[in-house]
Structure 1
Amino acid sequence: MPRVGAAHARLRAATTDLHAQVDGLFADGLDSACGYRRYVLGMHRFAADYEAAVGIAPRHSAWLAEDLDLLSLAPLAARDAQHLLADAATRLGWRYVMAGSSLGARGLLRDAHRLGHADGRGATFLARHAASDEWAGLRARLQAFDAGDAPRMARAEAGARAAFARVHACLQRSFDRLSATAEPEPCR
C-alpha cells in the first residue's frame, strides 16, 4: 500500500473524533435488519447532500434510492439544503469522506450479505461503492495536494469535518425516523 501523504495524514488527524462518532453509530456493524435500514436511509440523505456539495451528478444517491425502494423506505427530506461548494479545497475534504467510506463499505457489504442483501437486492450502493476506485483516485489527489499551503489545507480540513458532521446528522435522523416505536416496522 502506498505511504500516507501529508494531506491525507492531516485530514485523518483533523477528523478522527468525528469519524469515531460516525463509526460509533454502528459499533457492531450492520448486525440487524433495522440497523441496515437505518444505514441505507441515512446514507441516502448524505449522498444526495454530498453530490450537491461537490457538484456531481447523482450516482451514490441513485444506488441508495434503489436500495431504499427495495427496502420500502421513503427518503429523508433535505434539511438545510446543501449547495455547491465554491472552493476546490473544501470540496476535496468532502470527497475524502465519501471516497474513504468505500473502504468501510467492504466490511459493511459482508454484513449486508449476511442479512440477505446483494447488488440489485437492497445492497446496490454497498456493492458498487466497495468495488469502486474512488479511494485510489482520491489518494492520488491527496498526494498532489500541497499540505504546506496552510489556508488551502485548513479549508480541506474544514470541508472534511463538515462532511463528517453531515453524515453523522443524516444517520442520526435515520435512527430518529426508524425508532423503536416507528410504524409500520419498528426497530428493536
Structure 2
Amino acid sequence: MHRFAADFERTIDAVPRHSAWLARDLTALSLLPLTAEGTHRAVAGQAARLGWEYVMAGSSMGARVLLRDARALGFDPDRGARFLDRHATSDEWGALQARLQALDVDDAVRMAQAEEGARAAFALVRSCFERGFERIPVIHGKES
C-alpha cells in the first residue's frame, strides 16, 4: 500500500500524507518499502485526478474493517497501524462523494477521463500488491 500511496501522491501532485503514515508503519514493523517501478507523472485534468482519488478514498472503507482486525492483534497508531487509523477515520470518501455527484454524467469526455484515471489507479494497486506478495517468504511446514 505504501508503494501505491507514494505513486498516487506523485500522480495527483498531492502532499505526501498517506505515504508518510505508511512509511511510519513500515519503520515500526521493521519493513522496507517497495521500490518505485516505472515513472508516474502528474495526471492532467481534474476528471482523471478524480478517478485516481476515487481509488484511494474508496480504500478507506476497507481500512475501517482492517483497523478493527489490526487493533485486535495489538497494533495501534504508534505500532504499525497509523495509516489504517488515519485513513479509516478520515472523511475522504464522503468528500469525494460530493465531488462525484457534481460531475456532469452527460459529459462523455470528462466521464471517460475519470474512468481512465480510476482504471490506471486500480492497475497500479494490483501491480503493487502483486509485487508485495512476491516478497512474502514462504514458510514450509511439516508434511502430514
Aligned with residue 120 of structure 2, among 156, 159, 162: 162
- Name the residue aligned to 1:147: 105
Aligned with residue 59 of structure 2, among 63, 85, 101: 101
Aligned with residue 86 of structure 2, among 124, 128, 132: 128
Cα RMSD over matched residues? Answer: 1.2
Aligned with residue 43 of structure 2, among 85, 99, 120: 85
The 4+ residue runs of structure 1 with deviation greater than 6 A are: none
| Count of residues paired in the alignment | 140
Measure the CA separation in 1 of the matches of 2:34 and 2:98.
Answer: 33
Question: Unaligned 5+ residue runs, structure 1?
Answer: 1-42
- List aligned pairs for 1:21-36, cutoff 5 A: none
Measure the CA separation in 1 of the matches of 2:129 and 2:78.
Answer: 22
SS in 2 for 1:75: coil
- CA shift for structure 1 position 81: 2.1
Percentage of identical aligned residues: 61
- CA shift for structure 1 position 179: 3.1
- CA shift for structure 1 position 77: 0.5
TM-score by length of 2: 0.93
- CA shift for structure 1 position 104: 1.0
- Name the residue aligned to 1:44: 2
- Name the residue aligned to 1:40: none
Question: Unaligned 5+ residue runs, structure 2?
Answer: none
- CA shift for structure 1 position 140: 0.5
Measure the CA separation in 1 of the matches of 2:32 and 2:136.
Answer: 11
- List aligned pairs for 1:168-187, cutoff 5 A: 168-180=126-138
